């Protein structure tokens, strides 16, 4: 593997995109690149070591309004995290809100939701958000 790409992370051999759900400690056969972040706008390298994934932090190499650091606190979402993602009432592209009501996994303070293609997705905030 060589260093490359705009993230400076080691790159897996070409074509090794992760398949299915990938998480740290999950069983693996190959090192791969995983889509990550809100609306899968980021990438992370998931190294397969001794049959278990060890994934790097999500990197956002391409600027996007959904991953740009906010200039003011995000407003609370209208629905709880899990329901916000399933909301089919529509939204405005690049609209963002603070995740609420998440009680398992990552704390709600570290998650947000964003709209793209009239669909909500919630995920962890990029490191550049600073909170």
- Does residue 45 sit in the same domain as residue 75? no
User: Average pLDDT in the 4-23 region?
Assistant: 63
Domain region containing 44: 2-55
Q: What is the pLDDT of residue 7?
A: 45
pLDDT of residue 104: 55
Tracing tokens 């329901």 back to the chain, one arrives at 83
Residue 2 has pLDDT above 50, yes or no: no
Residues 70 and 109 in one domain: yes
Domain count, the chain: 2
Confidence of residue 128 (pLDDT cuts 50, 70, 90): confident
Instruction: Indicate if the pLDDT at residue 8 is higher than 60.
Output: no
Say what the pLDDT of residue 105 is: 54
- In the listed set 22, 38, 55, which residue is the last one of a domain according to the structure? 55
């Amino acid at each position: 593997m060589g260093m490359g790409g705009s993230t400076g992370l080691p790159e897996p051999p070409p074509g090794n995109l992760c398949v299915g759900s990938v998480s740290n400690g999950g069983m693996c056969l190959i090192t791969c690149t995983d889509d990550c972040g809100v609306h899968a706008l980021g990438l992370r390298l998931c190294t397969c070591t001794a049959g278990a994934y060890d994934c790097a932090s999500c990197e956002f190499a391409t600027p996007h309004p959904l991953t740009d650091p906010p200039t003011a606190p995000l407003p609370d979402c209208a629905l709880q995290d899990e329901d916000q993602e399933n909301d089919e009432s529509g939204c405005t592209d690049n609209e963002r809100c603070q995740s609420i009501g998440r009680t398992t996994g990552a704390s709600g303070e570290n998650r947000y939701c964003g709209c793209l293609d009239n669909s909500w997705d919630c995920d962890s905030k990029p490191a550049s958000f600073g909170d």
